[in-house]
């Protein structure tokens, strides 16, 4: 089969190439999936740069989440059969024509959902759900400030915040992205730098009740000055490349909480809640109360371009690879 392989870690992604690889034997608890769509995510880039907390042994196949059709099942598999349309994922293996996943890593695609949409939504919306519902306890009528709002996890937070009844303020780095966010339904849209005064004005001087930050760096520093008393600042990632530092006196004076978010780890630590989280976002997608956005699709032979689009901050929403 063809797959996008990482043979060497490299900042510029030069260690990647689409190659023919041997399809491994199917283990008893595994499904063989013909991959129809796989999503590009920022952790994929960090992994091939050697910067992610999970460091797979070289060489490895890129890609976390995917959707496709079951073509074979191991002898111990229950609840799945060839022909089933499924979505699932692991740290690696998605950018390939076929993929083996343990049955515990796979679920049926929500009703009336196409492969690309199914592949695009889990990571982003699970991150948004764990952040806003489990960690921040976002309440209807509160103000939610979302940074990096045009990216995959940012746009999911805008969408979910809207659905949960918050007033959503979105920030983005370019006018094109800000125009998209206005059309998408954010209540207010601001540049990604120099937003503090505007947030204060929009909230009657209070600041944002909840701040969702996958960017870090200067955005994190300014967010500390834009948060309301008693607010919750969610640390989702560090796409800027710099990890922000919080002076403890600022948290004391403003009475706010700093909350770390690792959606996958949350599910591993609390399996029952993890299953509830997945069921919740699947229900939302099936009922069309959330609206994943795909901005670009690439064939497998152009999968490196998909990752570069993400790396260069050109994507709005999700980028999909279709083997």
Domain housing 53: 2-109+293-322
pLDDT at 285 over 90: yes
Whole-number pLDDT of residue 239: 86
Q: What's the average model confidence in pLDDT over 40-48?
A: 93
Within-domain flag for 118: no
Residues 258, 138 within the same domain: yes
Per-residue model confidence (pLDDT) at position 304: 96
The percentage of residues in the chain with a pLDDT greater than 70, rounded to a whole number, is 100
Q: Please name which of 80, 87, 83, 154 lies closest in space to residue 117, comparing C-alpha atoms.
A: 87
Do 140 and 243 fall within a single domain? yes
pLDDT in tens, 290-313: 999 999 999 999 999 999 999 998
103-141 pLDDT, tens per residue?
999 999 998 999 999 999 999 999 999 999 999 999 999
DSSP 169-216: EEEESSHHHHHHHHHHT-SEEEESSS-HHHHHHHTTTS-EEEEEESS-
pLDDT of 53 reads 82
CATH code: domain of residue 199: 3.40.50.720
User: Is residue 61 located within the same domain as residue 146?
Assistant: no
Last residue of a domain, one of 246, 263, 280: 263
Question: Mean pLDDT over residues 99-103, rounded?
Answer: 97
Q: Is 72 helix (H, G, I), strand (E, B) or coil?
A: strand
Report how many domains make up the chain.
2
More confident residue, 83 or 239: 83
């Amino acid at each position: 089969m063809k797959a996008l392989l990482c043979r060497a870690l490299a900042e510029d992604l030069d260690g990647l190439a689409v190659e023919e690889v041997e399809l491994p034997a199917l283990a008893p608890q595994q499904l063989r999936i013909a991959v129809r769509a796989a999503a590009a995510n920022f952790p994929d880039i960090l992994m091939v740069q050697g910067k992610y907390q999970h460091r797979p042994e070289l060489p490895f196949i890129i890609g976390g989440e995917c959707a496709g059709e079951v073509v074979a099942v191991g002898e111990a598999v229950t609840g799945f059969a060839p022909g089933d349309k499924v979505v699932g994922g692991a740290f690696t293996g998605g950018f390939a024509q076929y993929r083996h996943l343990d049955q515990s890593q796979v679920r049926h695609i929500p009703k009336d959902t196409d492969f690309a949409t199914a592949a695009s939504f889990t990571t982003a919306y699970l991150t948004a759900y764990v952040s806003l519902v489990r960690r921040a306890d976002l309440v209807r009528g509160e103000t939610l400030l979302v940074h990096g709002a045009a990216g995959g996890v940012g746009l999911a937070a805008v969408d979910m915040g809207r659905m949960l009844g918050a007033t959503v303020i979105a920030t983005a780095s370019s006018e094109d992205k800000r125009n998209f966010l206005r059309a998408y339904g954010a209540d207010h849209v601001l540049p990604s730098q120099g937003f503090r005064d505007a947030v204060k004005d929009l909230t009657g001087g209070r600041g944002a009740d909840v701040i969702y930050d996958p960017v870090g760096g200067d955005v994190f520093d300014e967010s500390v000055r834009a948060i309301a008393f008693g607010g919750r600042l969610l640390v989702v990632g560090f796409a800027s490349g710099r990890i922000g530092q919080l002076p403890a006196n600022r948290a004391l004076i403003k009475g706010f909480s700093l909350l770390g978010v690792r959606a996958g780890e949350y599910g591993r630590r609390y399996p029952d809640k993890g299953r509830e989280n997945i069921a919740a976002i699947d229900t939302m997608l099936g009922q069309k109360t959330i609206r994943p956005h795909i901005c670009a699709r690439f064939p497998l032979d152009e999968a490196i371009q998909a990752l570069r689009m993400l790396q260069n901050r050109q994507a709005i929403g999700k980028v999909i690879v279709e083997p």
